[in-house]
Structure 1
Amino acid sequence: MLTDFEKDAIRDHYRTLADNLPGFRPRAAQRRMLAEVAQAFSRMKTPELAAAEGREGESIAVIEGPTGVGKSLAYLLAGGVMAQSRNMKLVVSSATIALQEQLVNRDLPFMVENSGLPLTFALAKGRGRYLCPYRLYQLTADVAQGDLLGADPSLALWDRKPQPGEVEALRELADAFHQRGWNGDRDTWKENIDDGVWSRVTNDRHGCLKAGCPNRPECPFFLARETLETVDVVVANHDLMLADISMGGGVILPAPENSFYCIDEAHHLAKKAINQFAAEHSLAQAMSWLDKVAATAQRVDTLTGKSSIVVDACDAAAAAMETLSEWLWLLQGEEALAASSDTLEPVWLLDDGLLPERLATPAANMALAARMVFKHLSALSDAVGEARKEKGSEALLFDKVAGDLGLLIGRSEQLMAVWDLFEKVAEEKAPPIAKWVQRKTEGKGDYLFCASPVSAAASLAATLWHRAAGAVLTSATLRSLGAFDLLLSQTGLVWLPHVNCVALDSPFDFQSQGELYLPPLLASPKDPAAHTREIVDWLPRLIDASEAVGTLVLFSSRKQMQDVAAGLPAELRECLNVQGESPKSALLDNHHARLRDGKASVIFGLDSFSEGLDLPGESCVHVIIAKLPFAMPDDPVGRTLSRWIEKRGGNPFVEITVPEASIKLVQAVGRLIRTERDYGRVTILDNRLTRQSYGKKLLASLPPFKRI
């Protein structure tokens, strides 16, 4: 239950915020969100009680907060008070870098300064964003050049002769870091660092020497980790949060049991989670690094004298290579992977994620071999770590081998993840695992093995919802066709009976601020050529090229966008800013410059411009949507899910395609009204809204604009 102290603290800090901001108008929706966040977190169970009773979603809230509500301020203030009161960390996660930066650079400082709530905060990043000082100093030391002539240059820090510019760039980084002119965070360097150069001086968890590293006290990653342990609020992104829980939680971010999560842009969470739990590997690349295991193992033997585990590692790598060779032979006769004129890289998708009987044993053998490789490489790494403690004078040799082993362990973990999924058979009523093989044309005889769950619901339930002390999922658009059902099923929250779902009211008066127009088009989008011609005919009637206001035209197809742009009359083409023809920042700068000069400006954009694009006032008074944003399930994961739904007697179009299109359509329409002073029109050039049965449902989910 929410205590009186917590109620008073939230109320007092909110009042202080209002007093410090002239013209501040408390909004009912924002006050309700403050209360919903606090109430959710107040229902947290202690770890002991959760272990005894389990968690059933009592401390989880799903809150749809339309644009203008002030969501971030509400969850930061209420979440911050509750985290401090309950001795928890507040972990705020977003899908985009833009929102992360907004939270750290604007929203949190603003809230702390004006509310009087003394929160400390830090931005959490993955290990790959930080410098490894040890690797950098090795690369820039004179001895590093001699390393190029070693017995195994392919596993040296440089796998080729470095270019002069690369060495100079690394020495500049080393000098700046040594003199404390740079903190080792890639994003804070004065200019862009080439990916090839950066990959040499960053590190992963397997290649890291951890406590044994001589540069551990100055390591940017570990210093950042230590900072996260001291602050009240940790700002992360969905990818990092999901990576942390997939490793057991508490590895990079605070442990779920000690955290309140505020998951913003939560409509992206399910797809992000599917990507996180997927895995793939190239056959040729796997054969290449497996071939290097023996040489690396012999170096371990020389340093440690652990011959038995060296033999085990070599045998495991040889067995894995033998089994992969068998797969190479098995796949050569597969018809779906044969060359064809219309498919550059043919894909063989396994129906329902089930292996043919002839491949079941090879898959089990490969999964076992991958696990053995990972196990024995890890044993080699442990042996090197133990021996290094005893032979400190040879630390450099041990560290080089440890780094090489780290690379191999990381690759073996990836190999193991793929084949664990390939071998796995989903339970009877559970969604299948999508499995497919893609023939690569770049390398002769190379194949890409891929596997992915089609739903992340079970994984999220097990790794996050049943462990987190509390969570709030929020976004401007969480409902689909007016209900939360799609989000709940895709995230696994549907299995938690006490999750609280709330749809806040918008602060905007849509009836007076906007209108919706559905022109009487004849052509269906199912006839792309005719539909494109009709859009070309309609746009000059819908857009006044002489009026200095902004228009946003959204397309689902790049080809249609380009064809429409090419077919417009010259006076309208002069107003165009087409996505892809210039960087987004330059496109928006040109758009605003034209408006300042008293000229009309029109933005042509694709799906990514339907979300996160903020064009208040007259920078956007007309949003034109070319066609309904249906995403056809033509990728292996989507096709596997659709087939599973059909076999259960369902309709993938009705259950997945239309609900997902509803969310995207609401997001696209949401580009029009961004403030209480905005006005304008939404035009949708898709006659399926009035001709198809699902059209009424899609229209009902839109804001209540005046219909014209």
Structure 2
Amino acid sequence: MLSESLKKTIRQIHKHVADNLIDYRPRSSQNYLVAEIAKTLAGEYHKQQRICVIEAGTGTGKSLAYCLGALPIALAQKKKLVISTATVALQEQLISKELPFFAKHAGLAIKFDLVKGRHRYICAQKLSNAINGDNQTQLEFMPTLTSPLSEMETKCLTQLYDAYVNKKWPGDRDSWADTIPDRVWNLIACDKHACQRQMRAHQLCPFHMARQRLMQMDVLVINHSLLLADLDLGGGKILPEPDNTIYVIDEAHHLAHITRDFSSAAATIKGTIDWLEKLLKFAGKMAKVLVGQKAIGQNFKLSDSINDASKNLKVVRDILDKTEFNYSKDDTYRFAHGEIPNALHSKAKDISEATLDALRALNKMHDTLVQDVSDGDIKPYVADPILGESGYYINRLELLNKLWYSYATKGEGIPHARWIKRLDYKNHHDHLLSDCPIEVGYYLKDKLWEQCAGAVLCSATLTALGSFDHFAYECGLAKAEGVKYIKVPSPFDYPKQATLHIPNASVEPTDKAFSDHLAITLPDHLNTQQANLVLFASYWQMEHVVNALRKQGYDLLVQGELSREALLKKHKKNVDNNKGSILFGTQSLSEGLDLPGKYLENLVITKIPFAVPTSPIEEAQAEFVQSKGGNPFLSITVPDAAKKLVQSCGRLLRKESDKGRITILDRRLVTKRYGKAMLDTLPPFKRQIDH
């Protein structure tokens, strides 16, 4: 329960923070959010399941609300607060602006830090070896490096080394001012297999120093991928233990999609046979370095299991070469309902078992080498390149086993999308096999919701067509007891601040002539004296219109022609010089784009952003819904498009002082039943619908 003293503390903190915020206005919606978050996390609604799901419109002050509602509770319960985001922009905002301000004015002695994945840091030992070794040493250290570093890459490596040893650079990729080429970074990046804290030579590596600091932190800011990496390891391996953590999942509408990507696996056939051959040679080299007889036995086991896997993969190669699959235009064939042929299934079991045996043997050899170094039997400079290479093969074996284990389970349990893609090279062809679970709710339920001390999930777009059902189902919260769902409106005065216009149209968006129609009618809805943003549903349609308008003399800023940062810089410069600006983009530009005030006054959406189910995963999802008697268009496509439309319209108003106009050139919003439902989920702008 929320004690009176804790309520008083939260009210006092709120007052301190509010008194120091410029242009602060008391908002009932924000106060309500703070109270509901605090009550949920204190267990007032459910003793065990302390989870709330919040949709809060732009301008509500979500980040301040969850800091106020969750931090005092976390401190009182002696729990860590982990804030997970989907975008770097929000992480930077929290670390450089929101949390420093909150820490300064809340009167709480809190420490916070940004947690990055291991691969964002250098391994100091690898950096030293790369600098002090010759070209051959570099090639040994990085199995994927097929040729020595170029002169430019070597110069970059030297600059990194000098800056690090002179304490002018802390050793993480993000704080280096220039771009570090991937070939250089992959040579020196920290990895869990070679850079281990129990080895004396690695104890002062930047990653381990950063992890030590985390133990003293009250608040950790992470991204969704790092959260999933920790859950995949069982929780509490990278981050604090889930039962000792209160999670804030900001930008939560990305969670299911990122979880799905994280749970997928893929591998080629002939490519795998090739690298298994290299692993066989490497294992012999590794066995010679190891001290003791046990390693010899593990090497025999490793060799046997690699040979078994290769033999069975060659059978699979022959099956795929001989079978006439009905490939699509992009050389993809999806197995209906995720069910693979029996011949492939029996081999999948054999490959799954062989790769698991290989993984166990290689892990044991790897651990033996780590122990030999710790015991002083092998020098670190001898062991490091071998540990780096064995770590590289361990990662590949893990992914290979993940794929074939899933193929071996066939269509049992959770529905999966499984497909083959034909790959044609100059000298040979190959097959890429892929696997992805269609539903990931069960995973989040088991690994996160049932383990954590509490969770707050929030975003400006979590409902679809006015309901949380779609989101709850995707994220594994659909049948969970005690989950609190809260929808908080934005403080904006929508009818006064913006007009939504749906003009008449003679051509339907599904018509082939629609692109030409857009090119003709779009100029009527642009204001060359203002800041314009035009959003398209596809790249090719955008390019078609761009070509037509440029012939008419229009000066356009087009997504893809410049980096996002350069594009926005140019757009703002145009507006600052009173020139007006026209920015063209696709759906990816409709999220996380902040153009307040004069930087966006005229927004045009050319088409409802329906996703065409062209990827094997989307096709499998639709097939699964149909197999259950559902309508994939109404249960997946429409809710997803409705959320995207809300996001797109959300670009116009960022502050309570903003004003402008939204034009949607898709009449289906008024002619179709689903369109009217979508229209009703949009904010209550002043409407102008032509008849």
TM-score (norm 1): 0.93
CA distance in 2, matches of 1:21, 1:125: 30
Do the aligned partners of residues 171 and 591 (structure 1) sit closer, same or farther apart at CA in structure 2, a change above 3 Å counting?
A: closer
Do the aligned partners of residues 587 and 387 (structure 1) sit closer, same or farther apart at CA in structure 2, a change above 3 Å counting?
A: closer
Match among 212, 217, 227 for residue 231 of structure 1: 217
1:171 aligned counterpart, secondary structure? helix
Q: How does 1:413-428 map to 2 (within 5 A)?
A: 413-427=398-412
CA distance in 1, matches of 2:36, 2:662: 32
- CA deviations on 1:425-467 (whole Å, 9 max, x unpaired) are 4556x4x111111111136132212111011111111111110
Residue 145 of structure 1 and its aligned partner are, at CA, apart by 4.2
Q: Would you say the 8 A contact 1:206–1:410 is kept in 2? A: no
- CA deviations on 1:43-76 (whole Å, 9 max, x unpaired) are 199xxxxxxxxx9973000011100000011112
Q: Would you say the 8 A contact 1:553–1:603 is kept in 2? A: yes
Aligned partner of 1:255 in structure 2 is: 241
Match among 135, 150, 155 for residue 168 of structure 1: 155
Match among 117, 121, 138 for residue 129 of structure 2: 138
Aligned partner of 1:476 in structure 2 is: 460
Q: How does 1:498-513 map to 2 (within 5 A)?
A: 498-513=482-497
Do the aligned partners of residues 418 and 138 (structure 1) sit closer, same or farther apart at CA in structure 2, a change above 3 Å counting?
A: same
Residue 410 of structure 1 and its aligned partner are, at CA, apart by 1.1
1:260 aligned counterpart, secondary structure? strand
Aligned partner of 2:558 in structure 1 is: 578
Query: Which residue identity lines up with residue 252 of structure 2 in the other structure?
Result: A
Residue 585 of structure 1 and its aligned partner are, at CA, apart by 2.1
2:127 aligned counterpart, secondary structure? helix
Do the aligned partners of residues 693 and 170 (structure 1) sit closer, same or farther apart at CA in structure 2, a change above 3 Å counting?
A: same
Question: Do residues 186 (structure 1) and 173 (structure 2) align?
Answer: yes
Aligned partner of 1:364 in structure 2 is: 349
Which is worse superposed, 497-506 or 206-215? 206-215
Aligned partner of 2:473 in structure 1 is: 489
Do the aligned partners of residues 156 and 437 (structure 1) sit closer, same or farther apart at CA in structure 2, a change above 3 Å counting?
A: closer
Aligned partner of 1:537 in structure 2 is: 520
Percent identity between the aligned chains? 36
CA distance in 1, matches of 2:527, 2:515: 20
1:704 aligned counterpart, secondary structure? coil
Residue 78 of structure 1 and its aligned partner are, at CA, apart by 2.0
CA distance in 2, matches of 1:160, 1:166: 12
Q: Would you say the 8 A contact 1:336–1:347 is kept in 2? A: no
Match among 668, 677, 690 for residue 670 of structure 2: 690
Q: How does 1:194-593 map to 2 (within 5 A)?
A: 194-216=181-203, 218-302=204-288, 303-304=290-291, 305=293, 306-336=295-325, 342-343=329-330, 346-392=331-377, 394-427=379-412, 430=414, 432-442=415-425, 444-528=428-512, 530-545=513-528, 548-568=529-549, 573-574=554-555, 576-593=556-573
Residue 98 of structure 1 and its aligned partner are, at CA, apart by 0.6
Do the aligned partners of residues 126 and 506 (structure 1) sit closer, same or farther apart at CA in structure 2, a change above 3 Å counting?
A: same
Aligned partner of 1:650 in structure 2 is: 630
Match among 574, 584, 589 for residue 594 of structure 1: 574
Which is worse superposed, 308-317 or 613-622? 613-622
1:102 aligned counterpart, secondary structure? helix
2:201 aligned counterpart, secondary structure? coil
Query: Which residue identity lines up with residue 372 of structure 1 in the other structure?
Result: D
Residue 392 of structure 1 and its aligned partner are, at CA, apart by 3.2
Which is worse superposed, 394-403 or 497-506? 394-403
RMSD: 2.1
1:534 aligned counterpart, secondary structure? helix
CA distance in 1, matches of 2:370, 2:85: 37
Do the aligned partners of residues 84 and 44 (structure 1) sit closer, same or farther apart at CA in structure 2, a change above 3 Å counting?
A: farther
Q: Would you say the 8 A contact 2:527–2:602 is kept in 1? A: no
CA distance in 2, matches of 1:214, 1:20: 47
Residue 421 of structure 1 and its aligned partner are, at CA, apart by 1.6
- CA deviations on 1:352-407 (whole Å, 9 max, x unpaired) are 11111222211111111111111111111122233334443544323332222111
CA distance in 1, matches of 2:170, 2:56: 37
Match among 628, 641, 654 for residue 661 of structure 1: 641
Q: How does 1:29-68 map to 2 (within 5 A)?
A: 29-43=29-43, 58-68=49-59
Aligned partner of 2:91 in structure 1 is: 100
Question: Do residues 177 (structure 1) and 161 (structure 2) align?
Answer: no
Question: Do residues 86 (structure 1) and 73 (structure 2) align?
Answer: no
Q: Would you say the 8 A contact 2:50–2:453 is kept in 1? A: yes
CA distance in 2, matches of 1:561, 1:248: 45
Residue 414 of structure 1 and its aligned partner are, at CA, apart by 1.0
Aligned partner of 1:48 in structure 2 is: none
CA distance in 1, matches of 2:307, 2:58: 58
Question: What 5-or-longer segments of structure 2 have no aligned partner?
Answer: none
TM-score (norm 2): 0.95
Query: Which residue identity lines up with residue 324 of structure 1 in the other structure?
Result: L
Residue 569 of structure 1 and its aligned partner are, at CA, apart by 7.1
Which is worse superposed, 83-92 or 200-209? 200-209
Residue 237 of structure 1 and its aligned partner are, at CA, apart by 0.5
CA distance in 2, matches of 1:262, 1:375: 36
Aligned partner of 1:612 in structure 2 is: 592
Residue 282 of structure 1 and its aligned partner are, at CA, apart by 2.3
Do the aligned partners of residues 162 and 624 (structure 1) sit closer, same or farther apart at CA in structure 2, a change above 3 Å counting?
A: closer
Query: Which residue identity lines up with residue 128 of structure 2 in the other structure?
Result: Y
Q: Would you say the 8 A contact 1:153–1:159 is kept in 2? A: no
Q: Would you say the 8 A contact 1:57–1:493 is kept in 2? A: no
Residue 27 of structure 1 and its aligned partner are, at CA, apart by 0.6
CA distance in 2, matches of 1:617, 1:133: 47
Aligned partner of 1:50 in structure 2 is: none
CA distance in 2, matches of 1:326, 1:479: 48
- CA deviations on 1:154-184 (whole Å, 9 max, x unpaired) are 9669543332333332222222212211111
CA distance in 2, matches of 1:466, 1:570: 59
Match among 79, 97, 114 for residue 105 of structure 2: 114
CA distance in 2, matches of 1:57, 1:688: 45
CA distance in 1, matches of 2:553, 2:522: 9
Aligned partner of 1:24 in structure 2 is: 24
Q: Would you say the 8 A contact 1:239–1:276 is kept in 2? A: yes
Q: Would you say the 8 A contact 1:62–1:502 is kept in 2? A: yes
Do the aligned partners of residues 681 and 323 (structure 1) sit closer, same or farther apart at CA in structure 2, a change above 3 Å counting?
A: same
Residue 591 of structure 1 and its aligned partner are, at CA, apart by 1.8
Which is worse superposed, 4-13 or 111-120? 111-120
Question: What 5-or-longer segments of structure 1 have no aligned partner?
Answer: 46-54
How many residues of Structure 1 are paired with residues of Structure 2 in the alignment?
Answer: 684
Residue 628 of structure 1 and its aligned partner are, at CA, apart by 0.3
Q: Would you say the 8 A contact 1:558–1:606 is kept in 2? A: yes
CA distance in 2, matches of 1:276, 1:258: 24
